[in-house]
Structure 1
């Protein structure tokens, strides 16, 4: 992957992704940046975010029924998405996935990478639903 030149705007997008405590989507990244840099455009943020993904500096997390989210952790790991609020978080898993990955080879594939996103309802949304039922 060819690294493109570093611009101020790309640096702002990089900082927004790497300092996020969650896995923001592009719109959340834009909203974070525009608070301090109101002249930056949505298109500039999206374009630079895609460049960072293309350069392998940021990981795109594709989720069902919502926008892509972005992660600063590049190694293979797992995510869980709340089906209500669409928040994406890391989830720690253990060795069973290695057996599945090795099984891929039996189909003649050479595994290069994988993405796993679990879906469920987060604790905050569960509390909200419980409060609504009362």
Structure 2
């Protein structure tokens, strides 16, 4: 059971980072990179008869949406962190909100947004509020 969850998290990480690298280092367009990566992963895992096979494929698809971010917003390390957060959302929250259509897309958006917000908040320059300081 734990190994199955590890496979889902690993496929999510590979999906996000793989899509990100295909876009920014191989020159694919955003949507084509995500589609090609997902189709290749589904083609490679199709012959494997494993109970969590469809969940791994769905996690890869959702993480490829995380990997579609721009380089100026998130680097590959932050994309990896967002994919791990997405995998957490995917494993814990999506089974609870199956009635909500687009829950995979919502989880990928939330994970990217949370990581982007945390990195922007944590690396913000301190504000010098003394009245004698010149304006910037």
The TM-score normalised by the length of structure 1 is 0.33
The TM-score normalised by the length of structure 2 is 0.33
Structure number with the bigger relative contact order (C-alpha 8 A, sep ≥ 6) is 2
Tell me which protein shows more strand as a share of its residues.
1
